[in-house]
A and B are shown apart, each in its own frame.
Chain A
């Protein structure tokens, strides 16, 4: 034991950076983030560009197009073209943006809402029963059905898809936060703070809520993964993001009809989608093992 102050946080950070899942998953997620951010400079063309003469071409197809000045320039369809002659490669690269925006905003929104409701349920006794019954009710509706129900309400679009995925995620966050609040408020150090005259809001922020950070980071990562999948499912079913916007689900939906002849329209976006979700899940797994060993046991 050294005399220096070793904060529990710095120890966790060191453990985290030594975990292979965190490193590999984290790097992959970073790569996909960069792909989305740098989409215009990654050798892409306008993902909405239609070219009737180049429909349903296999990967590597080369041709020429006329640019604005009318000159012929050679282009390559690295991953082939879809039924409207759009460049699948460009659509996949741009599609990363939608997936990431949906994943991250769903996680952020559901954690903020879930945390607020969860703390209320865990700390205000008379509200607990009511809130938890409502959450039970929401959880009784299978998540994808609930999302489908919500999108069916609004016109298709990014916002409605995000709302649709947030609604079924919230009860899960509420349950997690509530269970942590309920167990931590019994800890002797919290009771000591109560006898120390600490007011309830300070008590929550200082002693109780810090315990939810690690589990929520972990939970948040898994929400990102599942939101990306649900968005892809909704788009694939044709009830998510409007089809003209390039998303992985939309590219696959586009390719469904001609799948037997041109499977690449389904396989490439599917592969990228699976890889993205895998990366996020690996990151989540690693974070769970290092940040929150107790949670690792629970789930």
Chain B
């Protein structure tokens, strides 16, 4: 088990390295002097020169890359020239809203999507199935910011049940924290529920066509137990895979949702950084998000060994 984990962890290194190379090249691919870009529009020549030497931009590219990577490993993500702060601090301050939103969304999604998908597969062809699938296509087509504004309009402006926008730290009271996160996480989860319900349905349907389902029926097993003990149990691996893959969409959705609901998280930070052309921050955020994504999928790969005895380490 340990050597398997080690091997899987080592296997993510090339991927992460490629991401790092890409993120690093980002700044070098821009037309113009990277130092001038980092310094921003109002910097003078002396400041630009200082940045150039500080970042080693006068050295050859591979050397710059190694220096940059080395700094990253030490937790030094550079300094934001827009906020005049260490990028590391900046990120730490913005972590809580993003984590809260993502976690709530995932919980909401899994609790709704997997049962819906299973139900649709079980009642394949019925009005229930068609309804769930119709909702799924619709959910897939409604952009998260449109849903967000509809929700705000109905529940906050018209009904006045929930706060319009903003965030409250969890340390200032769980109630207020949750109240402000309800709309964002519902808005964000719509597309996932659509996606995961559909994939769950496909996986369960596929399993229901397998020979061992017929075997279970030939034993005299009841339909509900055939579904729960045999079908869903076997569909678990593809379902979990899809949940893992959808984290990529989740991260994209976080950026938009935080903008709509004005949540001061990493997503909003990304947009602010892009608008300000604050490259150290953009690089750090992309690297961080990608790293989290790779780790999540690693964790999911490892979870296969628990879900399916055929996959061995």
Contacts and interface: CB of A to CB of B under 8 A. Distances in A.
The reply, when asked whether chain A contacts chain B directly with Cβ atoms under 8 A, is yes
Main secondary structure of the interface of A (DSSP, over half): helix
A190 interface: no
Contact of B256 (A137, A237, A277, A297): A237
A239 B271 contact: yes
B15 interface: yes
Contacts of B152: 259
Contact of A273 (B16, B18, B22, B143): B143
Contacts of B140: 225, 277, 281
Interface stretch (A45-53, A84-92, A141-149, A201-209): A141-149
B137 A282 contact: yes
B23 A149 contact: yes
B286 A141 contact: yes
B49 interface: no
Interface in A248-287: 252, 259-260, 263, 266-267, 270-271, 273-274, 277-278, 280-282, 285
Interface residues of B, number: 52
B137 A140 contact: no
Interface string A128-162: 00000110111111111110110111100000000
Contact of A142 (B17, B153, B249, B274): B249
12 contacts: A134-B18, A137-B15, A137-B18, A149-B26, A152-B277, A153-B29, A154-B30, A233-B145, A236-B256, A252-B145, A281-B137, A282-B137
A149 B149 contact: no
Interface string B257-279: 00100000000001100110101
Interface residues of A, number: 45
Interface of B: 14-19, 21-23, 26, 29-31, 137-138, 140-143, 145-146, 149-150, 152-153, 157, 164, 199, 202, 206, 247-249, 251-253, 255-256, 259, 270-271, 274-275, 277, 279, 282, 285-286, 289-290, 293-294
Residue from B29, B206, B256 with most neighbouring chain A CB atoms (10 Å): B256
A204 B145 CA distance: 43
A176 to B, nearest CB: 14
A152 B164 CA distance: 30
A58 interface: no
Lowest 5 CB-CB distances: which A-B pairs, in order?
A137-B18, A144-B252, A270-B146, A278-B141, A142-B251
Contacts of B21: 137
Given A233-B256, A239-B274, A270 B143 contact: yes
B137 A274 contact: no
B251 to A, nearest CB: 4
B32 to A, nearest CB: 10
A148 B282 CA distance: 9
Contacts of A233: 143, 145, 252, 256
Contacts, number: 140
A278 B259 CA distance: 24
A271 B259 CA distance: 19
A236 B247 CA distance: 22
A274 B92 CA distance: 35
Interface of A: 133-134, 136-146, 148-149, 151-154, 225, 229, 232-233, 236-239, 252, 259-260, 263, 266-267, 270-271, 273-274, 277-278, 280-282, 285, 297, 299
Given A149-B286, A152-B274, A252-B145, A142 B252 contact: yes
Contact of B143 (A134, A277, A280, A299): A277
B36 to A, nearest CB: 14
A140 B256 contact: no
B290 A141 contact: yes
Contact of A274 (B16, B141, B248): B141
Given A136-B18, A281-B141, A142 B289 contact: yes
Given A233-B256, A278-B137, A153 B274 contact: no
A263 B251 CA distance: 27
Contacts of A285: 137
B275 A238 contact: yes
A145 B23 CA distance: 11
A259 B149 contact: yes
B143 to A, nearest CB: 5
Contacts of B23: 149
B137 A266 contact: no
Contacts of B249: 142-143
Contacts of B274: 148, 151-152, 237, 239
Given A137-B18, A149-B23, A153-B26, A237 B255 contact: yes
A135 to B, nearest CB: 9
A187 to B, nearest CB: 22
A142 B138 contact: no
B196 to A, nearest CB: 13
Contacts of A236: 145, 256, 259
Contacts of A271: 146
Given A237-B256, A297-B206, A133 B137 contact: no
Nearest to B21: A137
Nearest to B252: A144
Residue from A133, A141, A225, A260 with most neighbouring chain B CB atoms (10 Å): A141
